[in-house]
């Protein structure tokens, strides 16, 4: 499964999520999106700045949606 970084918020902007997923200073907040091959957002997670995304939980969510 491909993973990518959206450090400048371009994808969040494309999916209409930039307002929610940006901090007050315009920096993208730590988050994760699960997007299918048709560009449909299937899941989204928002994390605190000091919180690391749970990679295993994200993979589990992807596997459940694929089944």
Residue span of the structural domain in which 34 resides: 10-66
Q: Is the pLDDT of residue 22 over 70?
A: no
Would you say residue 48 lies in a domain? yes
Residues 42-58: pLDDT tens digits? 888 888 878 888 889 88
DSSP string, 7-60: TT-HHHHHTT-HHHHB-TTSPBPSEEEEE-TTS-EEEEEE--TT----HHHHHH
The pLDDT value recorded for residue 26 is 66
What's the pTM? 0.66
Number of domains composing the chain: 1
Would you say residue 5 lies in a domain? no
d(CA 61, CA 22) in angstroms, rounded, equals 24
Opening angle at CA 39, ends 33 and 40, nearest 5: 70
């Amino acid at each position: 499964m491909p993973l990518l970084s959206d450090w400048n918020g371009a994808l969040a902007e494309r999916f209409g999520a930039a307002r929610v997923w940006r901090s007050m200073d315009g920096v993208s907040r730590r988050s994760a999106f699960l997007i299918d091959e048709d560009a449909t957002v299937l899941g989204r997670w928002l994390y605190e700045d000091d919180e690391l995304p749970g990679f295993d939980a994200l993979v589990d969510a992807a596997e459940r949606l694929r089944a």
